[in-house]
Structure 1
Amino acid sequence: METKVYDLGTMKEEELKFAVIVSKFNGKFVYVRHKERKTFEVPGGHRELNEDINDTASRELWEETGAVKFSIEPIFDYLCDYSVGDKRTGKSYGRVYYAEIDEIGELPNLEIGEVQLFDHMPENLTYPQIQPVLLNEVEKRIK
């Protein structure tokens, strides 16, 4: 599987299927653990039918972290659209966002079982071929 990053707007809006939100709360990176897994991942998820991709990002951040007060934006002027896939599976496209979370409320009773804060990327990632590439791109730009 290959992960590639592109300039913002390279992909057509309707091609974007995912929103991934690299987030910080109190200066630490936010990772979540799905109830059915033991690994951690960056908050994010699938775009719903007819949903604006920016709304997907805000919705997923709240659903997966309980964030109620935050600022979120695509990584403007940087690499922020991405693709994952290979010749066998084809490519899927998404957009990378960065969020500063000011307040976290109660975690919605959905698919996420735990939210943890890290200084750096944890070793036990759910998507180890994707998330390091995206996080490295974001880290270069937010320092």
Structure 2
Amino acid sequence: MLKINFHKLNTIKEDKLLFAVIMAKFNGRWIYVKHKKRQTWEIPGGHREPNENIDDTASRELFEETGATEFNLTPVCIYSVESDQAGDYTESLGALFYSGVKALGKLPDFEINEIKLFDDIPNELTYPLIQPFLHKKVLEFINKV
């Protein structure tokens, strides 16, 4: 079973954050990416490198996974994914960002095969038990601003 928890910014030490995920919009549409090893869509993001602050992780991952060359990044919240499978409990923490992308360049040749713009969350998701909650949280965030 998976459980998604949201935490306010600065309530969890940054060194506990393992990854950054970025809900990004370009020309009014959401950017989703397709990994070379998968046939489903996911939100751009990835793991934090050693000694990298989480804002730099978000910026690097957004470029590497979308080719975004001009963008702003706004931290939304911290989130955790709790899993309890076969009695083995794990919790991983990450930062959720919102980005308005102003320019997309050539997609770097890393792990992403394709990017696509969507009006809403796509149906074929890599992490269908997680990504809809992140999408909804960012929608709530941008509607408050």
TM-score higher than 0.5 here? Answer: yes
User: How far did 1:119 drift?
Assistant: 0.3
1:57-115 CA distance string (max 9 Å, x none): 0000000000000011102xxxx100012242410000000000000000000000000
Give runs of ≥4 in structure 1 deviating > 3 Å.
none
Is the counterpart of residue 41 in structure 1 residue 42 in structure 2?
yes
Within 5 Å, give how 1:1-143 maps onto structure 2: 1-75=2-76, 80-87=77-84, 88-143=88-143
Instruction: Quote the Cα distance in structure 1 between the aligned partners of 2:129 and 2:11.
Output: 21
- For structure 1, the residue ranges without an aligned partner over 5 or more in a row are none
- For structure 2, the residue ranges without an aligned partner over 5 or more in a row are none
Letter in 2 for 1:81: I
Instruction: Quote the Cα distance in structure 1 between the aligned partners of 2:80 and 2:42.
Output: 17
Q: SS at 1:132's partner residue? A: helix
- Alignment coverage as a number of residue pairs: 139
Letter in 1 for 2:93: Y
Instruction: Quote the Cα distance in structure 2 between the aligned partners of 1:97 and 1:113.
Output: 22
Contact persistence 1:11–1:93 (CA under 8 A): no
Percent sequence identity over aligned pairs: 50
Cα RMSD, aligned residues only: 0.8
Q: TM-score, normalised by structure 1?
A: 0.94
Q: TM-score, normalised by structure 2?
A: 0.93
User: How far did 1:11 drift?
Assistant: 1.4
Instruction: Quote the Cα distance in structure 2 between the aligned partners of 1:28 and 1:89.
Output: 36
